């Protein structure tokens, strides 16, 4: 039976796994019917959060999610989507401005076939836009009933704090969640982002618990050909000749041995690690096929022992990252890894 968790201080209860829809559409799996089946299977297994974004396959992902929820399943789902990325060719079809938010939310609502979005998230910070402008527009959408809650994604700790300050001082609706990258190979958010989320009572929906596929069990030394769509599109990201990738391969092989000793798949070890942190509310899984979904579903039931966690800390120390894409998360040294040892209530 699924053990649901409180979504920050909202009173909403969500599943420890969130179904991410980034891989639905032309950039992943273009078969709409299979996408619908994956979503239905996830819901049948107790997942009640679906996360997508307008930019995923330029709206196609939202369309597939809308098809899956149309016909009676919408009320059972905590539906999350995001805005910020470039849509189309117009110079203003991008960003965090009031003008763009008001245009794009209507398009997302149509694609999702719904009257409201539970969690509308700012996909990335926008340096050229005052965050009060963004929060003001989102607050108006809350008051209009088009969105229920406001979230952010991949914000540094300073921007998270700024958002809380703006809401308090200027009478805006408060951001209630953050969606950061977090995995065994990318632990930088343990230093500041996750503690700040805890301090302000924010829910955390972490993305990429498999580190972009590195912890899927498919990558090992001696591999010379791309074995996934992601690797085919971004071969440099997995090129073992690059020093950063070579370091990741060493860690991945050690983690695979540890998972085997613990009687787990590497996938379950990786997702179970993320879910063990007391700040994490839910971890996003992004299956492209039903087989991928089946390999990840059981991870929510995994409980890692302190011995396993200690060994993970030896392989990739707390607060460090082996993923250059997340190098922006390098605040001061993390000295107390015990913060992730407390049980999640």
* Between 239 and 147, residue with greater pLDDT: 147
d(CA 249, CA 246): 5
Whether residue 342 is predicted with pLDDT greater than 70 in this model: the reply is no
Q: Find, among 15, 28, 92, 88, the residue nearest to 54 by Cα.
A: 88
330 pLDDT higher than 50:
no
231: pLDDT strictly greater than 70: no
What's the CA gap between 299 and 206, in Å, rounded? 14
Lowest mean pLDDT among 216-225, 245-254, 274-283: 216-225
pTM: 0.90
Judged against a pLDDT cut of 50, whether residue 158 lies above it is answered with yes
Q: Are 159 and 131 in contact (CB under 8 A)?
A: yes
* Among 56, 120, 182, 329, the one annotated catalytic: 56
User: How far is residue 198's CA from residue 202's CA, in Å, rounded to a whole number?
Assistant: 6
Between the alpha carbon of residue 91 and those of residues 85, 87, 239, 339, the distances in Å are: 11, 9, 34, 44
For residues 65 and 80, is the Cβ–Cβ distance under 8 A? no
pLDDT at 220 over 90: no
Q: How far is CA 12 from the centre of its chain?
A: 18
Measured CA angle at 215 (ends 302, 280), to 5 deg? 50
With a cut of 60, say whether residue 71 has pLDDT above it.
yes
Tens digit of each residue's pLDDT (9 = 90 or more) over 33-45: 999 999 999 999 9
- The predicted pLDDT at position 325 comes to 54
CA distances from 323 to 87, 205, 210, 245, 273 (A): 27, 19, 12, 8, 17
Q: Which DSSP string do the residues of 172-193 spell out, in sequence order?
A: PPPEEEEE-B-BTTB-GGGTTH
4 is catalytic: no
Residue 24 and residue 35 in contact, taking contact as beta carbons nearer than 8 Å:
yes
The pLDDT of 327-341, averaged and rounded, is 42
The alpha helices in 234-277, defined as continuous H runs, are 243-261, 266-276
DSSP string, 91-156: TTSSSS-HHHHHHHHHHHHHHHT-S-EEEEEE-S--TTS-HHHHHHHHHHHHHHTSEEEEEEES--
What mean pLDDT value characterizes the chain? 91
Q: What confidence score (pLDDT) does residue 236 get? A: 64
| pLDDT per position as a tens digit, 288-318 | 999 999 999 999 999 999 999 999 999 999 9
User: Distance (Å, rounded) from C-alpha 257 to C-alpha 266?
Assistant: 9
- Tokens representing 38 are 């994956």
Q: Which of 194, 180, 187, 193 is nearest to 317 (CA)?
A: 187
């Amino acid at each position: 039976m699924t053990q649901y968790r409180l979504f920050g201080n909202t009173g909403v209860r969500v599943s420890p796994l969130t179904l991410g829809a980034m891989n639905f559409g032309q950039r992943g799996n273009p078969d709409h019917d299979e996408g619908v089946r994956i979503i239905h299977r996830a819901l049948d297994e107790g997942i009640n959060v679906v996360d997508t974004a307008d930019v995923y396959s330029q709206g196609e992902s939202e369309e597939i999610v809308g098809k899956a929820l149309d016909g009676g399943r919408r009320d059972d789902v905590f539906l999350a989507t995001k805005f910020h990325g470039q849509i189309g060719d117009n110079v203003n079809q991008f960003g965090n401005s009031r003008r763009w938010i008001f245009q794009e939310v209507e398009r997302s609502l149509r694609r999702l076939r719904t009257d409201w979005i539970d969690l509308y998230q700012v996909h990335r910070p926008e340096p050229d836009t005052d965050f009060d402008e963004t929060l003001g527009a989102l607050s108006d959408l809350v008051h209009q009933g088009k969105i229920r809650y406001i979230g952010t994604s991949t914000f540094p700790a300073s921007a998270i704090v700024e958002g809380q300050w703006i809401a308090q001082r200027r009478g805006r609706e408060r951001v209630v969640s953050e969606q950061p990258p977090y995995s065994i190979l990318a632990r930088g958010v343990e230093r500041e982002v996750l503690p700040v989320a805890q301090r302000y009572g924010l829910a955390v929906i972490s993305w990429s618990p498999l580190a972009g596929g590195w912890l899927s069990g498919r990558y090992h030394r001696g591999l010379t050909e791309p074995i996934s769509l992601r690797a085919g599109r971004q071969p440099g990201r997995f090129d073992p000749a690059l020093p950063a990738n070579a370091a990741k391969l060493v860690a991945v092989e050690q983690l695979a041995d540890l998972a085997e000793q613990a009687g787990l798949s590497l996938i379950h070890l990786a997702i179970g690690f993320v879910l063990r942190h007391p700040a994490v509310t839910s971890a996003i899984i992004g299956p492209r096929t039903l087989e991928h979904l089946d390999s990840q579903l059981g991870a929510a039931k995994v409980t890692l022992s302190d011995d396993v966690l200690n060994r993970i800390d030896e392989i990739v120390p707390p607060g460090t990252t082996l993923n250059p894409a997340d190098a922006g998360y390098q605040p001061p040294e993390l000295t107390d890894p015990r913060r992730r040892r407390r049980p999640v209530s």
